[in-house]
Amino acid sequence: MKTELPGKWEYYIDRLSVHIASSGRKYNSHAATIYKWAQEDAEKTAIAGNALKKGIPDYSYSEEDSL
């Protein structure tokens, strides 16, 4: 995971830990869940990048941002 998600693997492990603690959900494969989330995040980033190229403002935000 360190080589496939350099600079992000710790974030996803922490995110999964918090999610499990807060929701009580159990997963068959923690790694599969992390890879799924990373893929979804990459798709969102690509969509946002394409929207900016078309002149559409990016109104996305992260969980750390204050609204």
Instruction: Check residue 66 and give its pLDDT.
Output: 61
Sign of the four-CA dihedral 57, 59, 61, 65: positive
Q: How far is CA 67 from CA 18, 33, 52, 53, 57, in A?
A: 22, 28, 21, 25, 16
Q: Where are the domains of the chain?
A: 9-53
pLDDT in tens, the chain (67 residues): 899 999 999 999 999 999 999 998 888 999 999 999 999 998 888 877 665 566 666 677 777 766 5
46, 52 contact by CB (below 8 A): no
The DSSP 8-state label assigned to residue 5 in this structure reads S
